Amino acid sequence: MSVSELALDWLDLLSEEGVTQAQFSAGVRHAVKTCSFFPKVADVLKGVRIYREAQPVLKNGQMQLASTTSNHELTQEEIKRNKERIKMIKLVFHPDPEKRVTVEEATAFIEDKIHIKEFGAA
């Protein structure tokens, strides 16, 4: 069997499993680190499984990082406030100097809207 035939076989087998490029890279890295001989598809798929298990869970189409994000659903009011905060932050970097706000103005706005002082300099 030639290398190109082997590559096509691997492509077919990995495609059946829905392996993405990032997952394949992680799987190959795992196989290279753990196999004494030439890795087989099963070795790469073991690495893919490990990679998939380590990924944050998707919830409502958004990435959830369990250790750093809230587990509650945002209310419409919270979503509206977050959008206002994002608009203000974007104004700090606005390309038109007339529309730009200072970091201090943005910080004051954000702190007023969220009732916490973590953005200010203490």
The ranges assigned to domains in the chain are 3-55, 76-114
Rounded average pLDDT per 10-residue block, the chain, 122 residues: 79 87 88 87 91 71 50 74 81 85 82 55 44
pLDDT the model gives residue 52:
87
Half-sphere exposure of 76 (CA within 13 A, CB side): 0
Closest residue by Cα to residue 103 from 115, 121, 84: 121
